[in-house]
Amino acid sequence: MNIADLRREYTQSGLDRKDLAADPFEQFDLWFKQALDSDYPDANAMSLSTVSTDGKPSSRTVLLKGFDEEGFTFFTNYNSVKGQDIAANNQVALLFPWLQFERQIRICGVAKKLSPQQSADYFLSRPLGSQLGAWASDQSKAIASREALVDQLNEATERFKDSAPTTPEHWGGYKVIPKTIEFWQGRESRLHDRFEYRLTAGTWELNRLQP
């Protein structure tokens, strides 16, 4: 198999300027609902890219847990690699790769911590196992074995055997406040449709980009 020969044509649909909402969050809501209604697996999964203090980029998949007219929310361990990166440089990028629909959405902006109360409200809505996992895992740190990780979970379980887990200080949410949001729709002959919303002086400007 020659990997260079792997290709396919994108033929499902196109994207025209007249079909786009004036507000990018409305457009995101439309595409997101279409993905959910089609039972797209993990439609809220998005790649989060950060940059370290020494300029090294890093990407991983996180889950979108909410969005509004201000931005896109996810939760994590603040001491993780991504948390440390954001603390030093809060410029981040998000990517929703909905390739089943020959679509993707790219978002660039700044990540800001949610308030402790907002983080606590979400933490307390999580399943018990997820709450204990947040206490058990020192995310991104090396560990000797799977057994050692299970031991840490058992310790957390014992700690909260008589009370509900509290929200760890090292855990919480971020909201990514976008500066640009790009909607991409695959087309034949690689002449894809790309439209970028860019926030300029408080107003969203919409431009078609060359593929």
Q: Which residues are catalytic, by number? A: 190
Q: How far apart are CA 183 and CA 209, in angstroms?
A: 10
**Chain center to CA of 168:** 21
Strands (E), the chain: 45-51, 57-63, 66-67, 72-77, 91-96, 103-113, 171-185, 193-200, 203-209
| Cβ atoms 136, 143 nearer than 8 A | no
DSSP 172: E
Classify each residue of 108-131 as buried b or exposed e, where b means 16 or more C-beta atoms within 10 Å of its C-beta.
bbbbebbeeebbbebbeebeeeeb
Q: How far apart are CA 68 and CA 45, in angstroms?
A: 17
Q: Are strands 91-96 and 193-200 parallel, antiparallel or unpaired?
A: unpaired
